[in-house]
Structure 1
Amino acid sequence: MTETLLDEHQDWTGQWWRPEDPDNKVPGVLTYSPDEGLRLRLIGGWKYNVTRPGKNGSTIITDELQRWPVVVGIGDGKYITLLSVHVTTARSFSLGGMFGTPDKLELRAHTALVGVHIDDPDEPAFTAASAHVEDMTVWSRRTGIQETHYFGPERDLTGTIELKHLEALTVESGPLTAKLSHYAWHPHSERTRSQTLTRVREHQVIRFEREEPQSFEYWLDLLGGMADLLSLSTLRACGIISMSVFLPPTPDDWPDDHPMRDQPHEITVYQVRVVKPKPDAEALDLRNYVLTLDDLPFEDLLPRWLEVRDRFAAARSMILGLRYVRSGYIETRVVTAVAAAESFHRALDPAPPIPPEEFKLLRKALLEAAPADRKAWLSDRLTEHSNVPTLKQRLLDLVGRVGEAGVRLVHEPEVWAKAAKDARNNLAHVGTADNDLNHLHAVAEVTASLVILNLLHELGVPQDRLRNAVDEHPDLSHAAKLARRVLCNDNSIVMQIAAVGVTVVDD
């Protein structure tokens, strides 16, 4: 079995054309680079300037360059579809080329689908998708490799390595079926003049299936969601190592006894994402996971994740964005972290602090008492949307939802909530900020960590596992130290957890 990795360079030589003009084929080379993405260099090309009609039948040639939703081609004998294509460079060595077709044209594409021609990128054509995601193999807590070691007399070292195929874990969520499949390779020996090295390999792949075909973006969103789940589970950015989508089987294209009659057609996807995969990087130690399939079985976790990622989409994107992009201004990280906390709480749809009927009566009384020239101003501020918890109340609620783990993280909820509220308001509403960057850094890290705990809580992670994560995970435990020492100015080892009525010794 071969696997096309998104950290490897690829190139295809062939002919390329736009679906609406199939007779105008142009030779060129498509290259994929994990750093630079997809680049198509054409010998010749198409009209690349955007034109607009002018007065008296004239044509205005603008300085804008063309964009095409789809470009297709046949490269090295393979059907290839390029999505979201735009011109980057055009070269013309004659005056006619400037107003006609160029002598050289360079294009960039967002995505390449190798193995298919599709004219409409939104066409519901695919019935399945799969991805190999970083850290998924350890996260699955499944292995088909068994090692046995024997220690005999006089340092006699012997042993065995056994490789078994594991059945896929399968779960259904509405019309969607998800499978966590085990892929393994037969033992392989490499012989050199100094030694013989024998290897076995395995990894896990996530696959989604539906009977009703869906668009490419639908499947891409699901695969990206699995990368998000692994990033949440490890608290570090996890990239997609390889991904594919699948077309329905075409039994009429094969003989009656051919094994491919009932097999879907695999289409390899090339795309540069925010997180670039590093499959050969060292694996995380198990203690760096805040969630594995030991904590929640696949059949429970996957459907719950699909609900959580949709319900808390904005908070999820913001909080994982802080993991995907570590650099940047600390002020931006503070605003993003607090906004993620507020967005998460809004998605919970809490009850208004004042009952709606009581709020209507109060609003009416205040408007009647207000001077005539102030009624409009007051009315704009006393809408039904203003009957919501304050930011500080939202933050304190998030601590309470995760119980002891939340208090162990923020140390003193009132102190942290005020610090987070003031930092966000000073940055977003006043236009000033605390000049103490250590203080702002602590606010960002503690607040982001609390949102992570709440996401894990929504997934059903037990309270004791959340508490252990705060105590043991390097990132969460560091955030807890920042809360205690920077925000609360407390260097003691005793944390008084007044919110839950217990005292916990910080060991």
Structure 2
Amino acid sequence: MAEQCEVTLLVCDSLHSKRAIFPQDGSPDTQTVMAMMVIIGKHVSGEEGEAFAAAEVSVEDLNLWATSSSFGASFGISEDKIDGTGSILVKPVEVQAVTVDGAEYHLMHTNTWSPFDGRKGGTVASVRDTVFIRVCPAGPFALSDALKAARLIRDLIALATHRAAGVIWLRLEVAGTESVSPDGQPLPRRRANVLCNVLCSPAVLGSPAVLGKHDAKAVDLHHVFFTCEELPFEEIVPRWCKVYDRLQAAINMILGLRYAPALFVENNLLMAVGAAEVLHRSLGIDEKPFPEEEFTEMRDAMLDVVPEMHRGRLKEMIRNDPKLRDRLRALAARPDRDAIAQLVPDIDHWAGRTTQARNDLAHEGRTPKHSIDELIAIVEATTAVVILNVLHELGLPAERQRQIVREHPQLRAVCREACDPEPNS
């Protein structure tokens, strides 16, 4: 207990212990520990105890992505001139809700009013409109489930804004704390907070992350891939849950380039090309180079002429799988054709140079046939192709895909590089 509030420390490391000269029970007199996970408001035995009924999470730029606001304004005009009258209106926003696999997702607003602040030069009044998503599973759930929900929402906003998105706060409602007031009205459940500075830890949210800053300037709307205006909340959440579960490895790799890009282009090359390979496999669009029966006959014929001691090794090497070049071509064929044409005008050239760069680096440890500038261009183009594929899976309209390629600063830069497909080496 701390100030009459239950506190749970999880995943703790001891930093310093101070013992008496002759301790009677063997325990330290004082001990300093570092906790990777802190819950204020509830005692739990671990991450898997089903102690919570709902989770609420706020993520950077969620308000921009939601494209809804509590604020409105009006200005008085007389004879085509502002007459000095006007008002700032704070109005309730309708809750948007959707159910996915028994869990309810609510897009909600809350307003926080500040008292009038008298200054020597004037008076300031302010109100904050905070957007958050409330997740209510069908029954009690564990802390680990709440963290997964926070990661799901965080990564959706990170993809939509094409930048590292931080969790600002995570708030949990304790199951079994329902009550009513003396007049019979239901009262809110008791709440438990997860400390915000904990949420930037990979041990908590499962991948490199950033600490959410609620007062930082919002991202430019022109730098956003999509909002609830292009893909309404009721549509995008079910699609994202499905796509995220199926393509999570590839999405994690691409988001990793945004959260924690490597200092060396070679690392980013392996990450981007690896994401493309993983995405292609996860999509289940493999086309075998040979019919299975024909391949089996050819492989058996080759193995028959190989000494017995080498057959096992050779059999492992002969596979009826598409090559990296084939996978890249297949990925480029899925999103909108015009959007891809702006990014990689010559798909065969891009697929060939990318394959050669990855193979040279993986098998020889260097890329003598590629300049640093070309490797950077390959990383950016491959990353863009993977992102467009994920957006395509989410159902982003073709016109919006083309608009993103034309207007987003990073993708515009990829298009400029694509105008000169020749290597710079």
Hey, what's the Cα distance between the residues in 2 that align with 1:338 and 1:117?
A: 44
Size of the aligned set, in residue pairs, is 410
Quote the residue 1:128 is aligned against: 54
Of residues 385, 389, 397, the one that matches 2:330 is 397
Hey, what's the Cα distance between the residues in 1 that align with 2:393 and 2:422?
A: 28
User: Does residue 357 in structure 1 map to residue 279 in structure 2?
Assistant: no
Q: Please report how far the alpha carbon of residue 281 of structure 1 lies from its aligned counterpart in structure 2 after TM superposition.
A: 1.6
TM alignment of 1:269-280, pairs within 5 A: 269-270=194-195, 271-273=198-200, 274-280=209-215
Q: Which amino acid aligns with 2:378?
A: V
Quote the residue 1:115 is aligned against: 41
Deviates further, 449-458 or 197-206: 197-206
Deviates further, 471-480 or 106-115: 471-480
Q: Please report how far the alpha carbon of residue 470 of structure 1 lies from its aligned counterpart in structure 2 after TM superposition.
A: 0.7
TM alignment of 1:305-454, pairs within 5 A: 305-350=240-285, 351-382=287-318, 386-402=319-335, 403-434=337-368, 436-454=371-389
Q: Deviations over 1:218-277 (max 9, x none)?
A: 1111111111111111111111111112222434x666646455x332211112412111
Quote the residue 2:205 is aligned against: none
8 Å CA contact 2:262–2:268 kept in 1: the answer is: no
Q: TM-score, normalised by structure 2?
A: 0.90
Secondary structure, counterpart of 2:173 in structure 1: strand
Q: Which amino acid aligns with 1:170?
A: A
Hey, what's the Cα distance between the residues in 2 that align with 1:264 and 1:357?
A: 62
8 Å CA contact 2:273–2:358 kept in 1: the answer is: yes
Q: Which amino acid aligns with 2:217?
A: E
TM alignment of 1:264-303, pairs within 5 A: 264-270=189-195, 271-273=198-200, 274-303=209-238
Secondary structure, counterpart of 1:157 in structure 2: strand
Q: Which amino acid aligns with 1:413?
A: I
Quote the residue 1:163 is aligned against: 90
8 Å CA contact 2:371–2:423 kept in 1: the answer is: no
Q: TM-score, normalised by structure 1?
A: 0.76
TM alignment of 1:162-241, pairs within 5 A: 162-186=89-113, 188-241=115-168
Quote the residue 2:203 is aligned against: none
Structure 1 residues 320, 311: closer, same or farther in 2, change over 3 A? Answer: same
Quote the residue 1:503 is aligned against: none
Secondary structure, counterpart of 1:200 in structure 2: strand
Quote the residue 1:500 is aligned against: none
Quote the residue 1:245 is aligned against: 172
Hey, what's the Cα distance between the residues in 2 that align with 1:229 and 1:287?
A: 17
Secondary structure, counterpart of 1:446 in structure 2: helix
8 Å CA contact 1:184–1:203 kept in 2: the answer is: yes
Structure of larger gyration radius: 1
Q: Which amino acid aligns with 1:399?
A: A
Higher relative contact order (CA 8 A, sep 6+): 2
Quote the residue 1:105 is aligned against: 31
Structure 1 residues 147, 125: closer, same or farther in 2, change over 3 A? Answer: same
Q: Please report how far the alpha carbon of residue 120 of structure 1 lies from its aligned counterpart in structure 2 after TM superposition.
A: 3.2
8 Å CA contact 1:79–1:116 kept in 2: the answer is: yes
8 Å CA contact 2:47–2:142 kept in 1: the answer is: yes
Instruction: Please give the root-mean-square deviation of Cα atoms over the aligned residues, in Å.
Output: 2.2
Hey, what's the Cα distance between the residues in 2 that align with 1:483 and 1:88?
A: 52
Structure 1 residues 473, 369: closer, same or farther in 2, change over 3 A? Answer: same
8 Å CA contact 1:295–1:461 kept in 2: the answer is: yes
Hey, what's the Cα distance between the residues in 2 that align with 1:103 and 1:250?
A: 36
Structure with a larger share of its residues in strand: 1
Q: Which amino acid aligns with 1:215?
A: A
8 Å CA contact 1:92–1:98 kept in 2: the answer is: no
8 Å CA contact 2:10–2:46 kept in 1: the answer is: no
8 Å CA contact 2:17–2:30 kept in 1: the answer is: yes
Q: Deviations over 1:357-413 (max 9, x none)?
A: 22222222222243445433322223xxx2211101111111110122122112221
Hey, what's the Cα distance between the residues in 1 that align with 2:395 and 2:102?
A: 23
Gaps of 5+ in 2: 201-208
8 Å CA contact 1:188–1:200 kept in 2: the answer is: no
Q: Deviations over 1:60-84 (max 9, x none)?
A: xxxxxxxxxxxxxx11111011111
Secondary structure, counterpart of 1:125 in structure 2: strand
Q: Please report how far the alpha carbon of residue 327 of structure 1 lies from its aligned counterpart in structure 2 after TM superposition.
A: 4.6
8 Å CA contact 1:337–1:448 kept in 2: the answer is: yes
8 Å CA contact 1:412–1:488 kept in 2: the answer is: no
Percent identity of equivalent pairs: 32
8 Å CA contact 2:13–2:35 kept in 1: the answer is: yes
